[in-house]
């Protein structure tokens, strides 16, 4: 049963990652068509600020491992705290070191990538045995 759950989690994370990357690419294309090439970089920066903490959370939480620990709540707290801290650090780094040329596109991309996880359950197989 654990093996099936691990495979299901891996499939979910793979679909989520693909959906987030597709939204990033679509956002970059839309920014290029509407504005200019610098707006594309703003979309890319916004997507990175959303994606990197997500990857950190998955890695820290151990979602892809088959083993289950009795300290799941503590791992969840640490992973979420680290994700939040990394998000704040990335926002500061982006706005201090390399400010986006178009903050509107930056925040649109950030919000779109963060909210993608709401859509991914539609990408999962409908029956539990698939």
* Of 88, 90, 58, 89, the residue nearest 75 (C-alpha): 58
> How far, in Å, CA of 2 to CA of 8, rounded?
10
The verdict on pTM exceeding 0.85 is no
Assess if residue 91 is contained within a domain.
Answer: yes
Query: In which domain, by residue range, is 24 found?
Result: 2-123
pLDDT greater than 70 at residue 69: no
Assess if residue 112 is contained within a domain.
Answer: yes
27's tokens: 């956002």
Assess if residue 130 is contained within a domain.
Answer: no
Whose tokens are 């705290």? That residue is 81
Number of structural domains in the chain: 1
pLDDT tens digits, one per residue of 58-67: 888 876 666 6
Assess if residue 128 is contained within a domain.
Answer: no
pLDDT tens digits, one per residue of 6-48: 788 788 888 888 889 999 999 999 999 998 888 899 999 999 9
Assess if residue 63 is contained within a domain.
Answer: yes
Residue percentage of the chain with pLDDT more than 70:
85
């Amino acid at each position: 049963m654990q093996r099936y759950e691990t495979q299901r989690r891996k499939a979910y994370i793979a679909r989520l990652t693909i959906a987030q990357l597709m939204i990033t690419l679509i956002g970059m294309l839309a920014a290029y068509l509407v504005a200019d090439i610098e707006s594309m970089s703003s979309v890319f920066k916004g997507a990175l600020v959303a994606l990197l903490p997500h990857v950190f959370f998955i890695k820290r939480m151990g979602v892809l491992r088959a083993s289950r620990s009795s300290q799941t709540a503590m791992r969840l707290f640490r992973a979420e705290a680290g994700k939040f801290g990394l998000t704040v650090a990335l926002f500061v780094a982006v706005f201090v070191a390399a400010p986006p040329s178009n903050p509107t596109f930056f925040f649109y991309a950030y919000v779109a990538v963060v909210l993608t996880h709401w859509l991914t359950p539609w990408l999962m197989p409908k029956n539990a045995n698939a």
